[in-house]
A and B are shown apart, each in its own frame.
Chain A
């Protein structure tokens, strides 16, 4: 009758280093932010800045060509979608688990929320991509007749998402920033004081923070799903004549959730190995994320198949053309790559308990999934952006595969590097662990004996 989810008699993984006091944990977490950045940190920051510079150069070169020729912006659109589907989707891991009150998410909450800062970079990348979209006349759109559509509303939607993400980060980090303001020095202390100086930690403040975090977290979830639906419709489906698929916005949002999970796993691995946080991040976190990753990989296939079976079954001309463009025609290689990396390989690997219940296993699968995201977004956005004639009811002429040129590669590399750099720099301002949630977890958890085992009892105050 009992679930064998447990550790087969071992003590549950500790939240913090064994025997650590509150003060020791605070010193660990805050100390990393307060101390000056080490050599390795500076080295990585320099390398990433160099790569980002390459990307900026490429971006400017592309801008020189103007936004009239949409085909040139295909890979940039794909980059925008990739960052939206990985870094910007990661905070949802923390938000949903906080809603579900699960305990294993405590160590990874802040790390995922921190990834929302990439939204700032992504917004800039989006601007020419959205400007390259053709006007609405003669083709279907989410926005119908609204003036300024789609450019204005799409920009606004993503802007709101970015601001929302930063707000969630701010609210979640507030108590920790206040702690930093007290013990910090230099220009950063001034910033922390301005941001969190009012925070004292009264019950009323905690209540308000909890409610606001819950509400804004929920909004972030809704905005992310909405943004993905919007991007999927306007930047991809709306450009392909005859492609009308009600599930595609949901598919896009779902694959973003999968990407967010994968990004989280990779980030945690980097924190553990390069950052040296082995005492805080254990196999529990990776195991739970791996189980979620398996579910989302299965769901990826489910959503893909739901679309495919309807498009394929009726043998209607516009649907056969859509399948030809997105799957079996010039974009066959990205499609197969996406299918393998987003579904087949994750399923084949994560179905094994030893792989799920390890640290390396989920990380390898997460990297495979991120590669799959790249293939998938290239397939969707480069193909859509290469279509000349966007009006009409059938895709008459399937465009040939548009390979990336040097500038595209520069932009892709620079974009990825810039995202990682932003997170790295943000970790100098905001601690990568949520100190107050770790302490809360320590408070609510007690190891109790049960028959011959020692298990964790988790208090449920509400």
Chain B
């Protein structure tokens, strides 16, 4: 930590509650735009329900396309929260402090958005809801627990619940700060929400304990969620889906794209809320190093996936791989994916200058997510198009305008969620910022005062 700002508690309170207590003009503009985008998405869903899925580009044999890609993409992004707040908390990394809450909130809204896709994607979504609520216990036909599509909601809901609990437990002290600074109806809301937080030592101890326990317990959930989503594909017989590597491959891909999304979010928060003293180039440097390690790890699993595509020399899989790599438009998409997801960002992240530059971190993090969206698309569609050696049934897929609208609407939904959250709750943890100030120290080494951190 080379640049550290000395901030008083009052300064921290003021800076971090300002977005909640005041509403600048840009907020309304952003809310309107994002809300508009989300409404377009709702319109598209209405079209699906009224006219049927024929309005999409889906066909036989490509029954899953852009919508399932979006589902996997957003579940992937949702892995940022746990990575940043849980793993970095357990390893006592100082640089996590400004971003834990933003990452967790990104998780929650990304998961919520992801969950809508399998629902609107079914042929009869009204039947899907009716299947669940109320469940028909009387005919004794239970959900098929052997189906990965039943594992999915179990995992995702568990993750959503634990992540929400995690955010709430960490929010309590900050809600108390807001309680002291508001009057009227907001004051009532914050009073109830803060559960009577007084800041006594015992309360701090319990809250810390809860945080540690949740951090540790959420880790297996975090690993299991994307593994289970990956098994939607891996347990099937589709040639390039049927690979044992999918679970860790998808999880590490999720961390890669999720932590990049957090880096993007860091840039946005810093400029929009004017938090330059809280999110410094040091933080970008640290997240950049984490990204570098994750990116290289991801590449190992990616290589294994492709290597084993060719390893068994099975005609069905070779046909799919050749289709993915060499035929139009997949060759172009594959090239873009490789460049965006690995070949450009990873070498760039090796350089300290790049890691400390806000502009370049924004560019690399956006690139990574473009690449990772394409990665899922390239996995899902070609395998379905060229499913088996019975070549007569080979097909192709072109997404429709409705599917592109849904991609756009999903970004609007997540953005709107985080925006509204930042209006009601402080997006940066006030308590963590203050704790970081307490743990500052410096050590005299020879003639130099070196900045240090107190470790418990």
Contacts and interface: CB of A to CB of B under 8 A. Distances in A.
Nearest to A308: B244
B242 A314 contact: yes
B431 to A, nearest CB: 5
Interface string A137-148: 000111010000
Interface in A119-155: 140-142, 144
Contact of B443 (A3, A140, A446): A446
Contacts of B248: 247, 250, 302-303, 306
Given A4-B456, A314-B235, A302 B209 contact: no
B326 interface: no
- Chain B interface size, under 10 / 10 to 19 / 20 to 34 / 35 or more: 35 or more
A411 interface: no
Contacts, number: 140
A448 interface: yes
A446 B227 CA distance: 44
Contacts of B231: 309-310
Contacts of A444: 443, 445, 450, 452
A2 B237 contact: no
A310 B207 contact: no
A3 B89 contact: yes
Report which residue of B89, B220, B311, B432 has the largest number of chain A beta carbons within 10 angstroms of its beta carbon.
B311
B74 to A, nearest CB: 22
Interface in A237-253: 244-250
Chain A interface mostly helix, strand, loop or mixed? mixed
Interface in B293-321: 300-301, 304-305, 307-308, 310-313
A5 B92 contact: yes
A445 B442 CA distance: 10
A387 interface: no
B311 A244 contact: yes
Nearest to B173: A1
A443 B443 CA distance: 9
B441 interface: yes
B68 to A, nearest CB: 19
B413 interface: no
Contact of B450 (A2, A229, A250, A461): A461
A458 B455 contact: yes
A307 B450 contact: no
Given A302-B227, A313-B235, A457 B242 contact: no
A221 to B, nearest CB: 10
A459 interface: yes
A244 B235 contact: no
B452 A457 contact: yes
Contacts of A249: 304
A140 B455 contact: no
B204 interface: yes
B299 to A, nearest CB: 11
A340 interface: no
A134 B284 CA distance: 51
A249 B301 CA distance: 10
Contacts of A298: 220
A225 B303 CA distance: 13
A1 B431 CA distance: 7
A299 to B, nearest CB: 8
A246 B247 contact: no
Interface of B: 1, 89-90, 92, 173, 204-205, 207-209, 211-212, 220, 223, 227, 231, 234-237, 242-248, 300-301, 304-305, 307-308, 310-313, 431-432, 435, 438, 441-445, 450-456
What 4 A-B pairs have minimum CB-CB distances, sorted nearest first?
A6-B456, A246-B245, A246-B308, A459-B443
Interface of A: 1-7, 12, 103, 140-142, 144, 225, 229, 244-250, 298, 302-303, 306-307, 309-311, 313-314, 316, 443-446, 448, 450, 453, 455-461
23 contacts: A2-B435, A3-B212, A4-B212, A5-B456, A6-B455, A144-B310, A244-B308, A246-B244, A302-B223, A303-B248, A306-B246, A309-B231, A310-B234, A310-B242, A313-B235, A314-B236, A314-B237, A443-B445, A444-B452, A455-B455, A457-B454, A459-B445, A459-B451
